[in-house]
Chain A
């Protein structure tokens, strides 16, 4: 009898890290914990960043000025995810969309629900659906998902940056 030879073994590497979000993002997240979406504005080109990372890469300068944005916006683009991702609790199929908040110059990825998957489209108007206030923390997960508002679609040309 020959013993089956194994040509590999799994060796787990465990390292612990204390993650930090950055000073600018920390300010943003502390406001998210209060249910507010506070963007940052470039002092040179006036581009509005949300979520902010503290800089405008167009100009290479810090974004200090803060302004609160509404929790409404439009779908810049989207995908319908059909495969489960390991460690991701959301059950497919689901819509992952680039949401452009009203007044913002960049989009961020979030979910869209309360919609027939066949109806989702670029330019659709959406609004945030928040968790119960008692469940709020310093995370954009305070927003469960975005849902359609029923307003007329916007023309995708609005997503172009105007200096």
Chain B
């Protein structure tokens, strides 16, 4: 296989409402930063790969068609990916596949969401005349799985609060993060309103506008740049309403992680991966994914969180950027994980840099915890 590397990552500032820019302006801000970081001009871009979550979030059908000029795709191949919440991650994987296939030297990939321009709750919960109106948003959908995790492993209530605090303290070190909550602590989280038991307000992700872009290239450009080499990447999917699915510890997530570890030659992810950006939109997903991604045995995830192993200084730092809990432009949220992993191994993460990070993981999931995309990046070819 042809080796590919990320040579530039660009992100916008994440905010609830980016009214200063159009959708085209938003994606272009991320693209300009990524291309500047990669030190490439438009001539170098052979194809553009765009990803975002459902079109109904912004009320624009197949928006890649009207974004052509903003994303510099005029006259070029353009592919549009949509794999629900995992889309940011799968878009990165597909963009890299363009390079790994040998057809392209350098590609640009961008993902975004501008939730402020529409009503995402409406888009996610259409009122079909034949379905009971019980749907209570994404939190209401996932809360029962978190409760089942807590029951299985007898996890204490404050684990969720700890994750909420840790990710928001990390966000204070990331000027692009949407939520900036100085002085946040477990008491503050515990005093916020309960939304969907066991989840409180500050244990849930915000709704953000934002975009993330990356330039991915083969060795032609990557060898002369501060590059994050892709050592393993994979996707997995499961059908939604399938008998025998374990939504708490989905097989698709386990298989996908195993696949990228095998590709990267990793046998002990806890020891060999220096840090990880993992898709945690609700606090309890940190311990759940620690187990699902084989960082520890079943039932041990919450104990790692409890003892601070996932803090920036810990054994396996999770979500140094503040994670999805601090910034959530849905379509881009996965790519932010993938891009932040690259920033870590290229020592460009600024105040939220993990010292000496050489190998990092990016992760995204979507749908009913049924779509997974992951990669491992390293600063060594």
Contacts and interface: CB of A to CB of B under 8 A. Distances in A.
A82 B196 contact: yes
Nearest to A141: B132
Contacts of B129: 19, 139
Interface of B: 19-20, 59, 121-122, 125, 127-137, 140-141, 143-145, 147-148, 151, 193-199, 238-244
Given A21-B130, A88-B135, A81 B140 contact: yes
A79 B242 CA distance: 21
Given A7-B19, A85-B137, A79 B128 contact: no
Interface string A140-163: 110100000000000010001101
Given A105-B243, A106-B243, A29 B134 contact: no
A124 interface: no
B147 A8 contact: no
Contacts of B198: 79
Contacts of B194: 80, 82
Given A82-B196, A111-B134, A98 B144 contact: yes
Contacts of A141: 132-133
A88 B136 contact: yes
The binding surface of chain A is classed by DSSP as: loop
Contacts of B140: 79, 81, 85, 96
A145 B194 CA distance: 23
A139 to B, nearest CB: 5
Contacts of B127: 87
A17 B145 CA distance: 33
Contact of A42 (B131, B135, B240, B243): B243
A71 to B, nearest CB: 14
Given A19-B128, A21-B130, A79-B147, A85 B19 contact: no
Contact of B135 (A19, A56, A106, A109): A109
Given A80-B197, A83-B195, A139 B134 contact: no
In the complex, the 3 A-B pairs of residues with the closest C-beta atoms, listed nearest first: A57-B239, A161-B244, A47-B243
15 contacts: A19-B129, A29-B130, A47-B243, A49-B241, A77-B148, A78-B144, A83-B195, A85-B121, A85-B137, A85-B140, A87-B122, A88-B135, A96-B134, A111-B132, A161-B244
B136 to A, nearest CB: 5
A53 interface: yes
Given A57-B239, A122-B148, 4 more contacts: A19-B130, A86-B121, A87-B133, A96-B140
B242 A56 contact: yes
Contacts of A86: 121-122
Interface in A42-84: 42, 45, 47-49, 53, 55-58, 76-83
A115 B278 CA distance: 38
Nearest to B144: A77
Contact of A79 (B196, B243, B244): B196
Contacts of B125: 85, 87
A78 B147 contact: yes
A106 B59 CA distance: 33
A1 interface: no
Nearest to A75: B144
* Residue among A7, A21, A55, A82 having the largest count of chain B Cβ atoms under 10 Å: A82
Contacts of B134: 88, 90, 96, 109-111
Nearest to A97: B144
Nearest to B141: A109
Nearest to B127: A87
A13 B56 CA distance: 11
A109 B241 CA distance: 12
A34 to B, nearest CB: 15
Contacts of B132: 109-111, 139-141, 143
A25 interface: yes
B136 A96 contact: yes
A49 B144 contact: no
Contact of B151 (A13, A79, A89, A122): A122
Contacts of B241: 49, 53, 57, 106
A90 B125 CA distance: 15
A138 B130 contact: yes
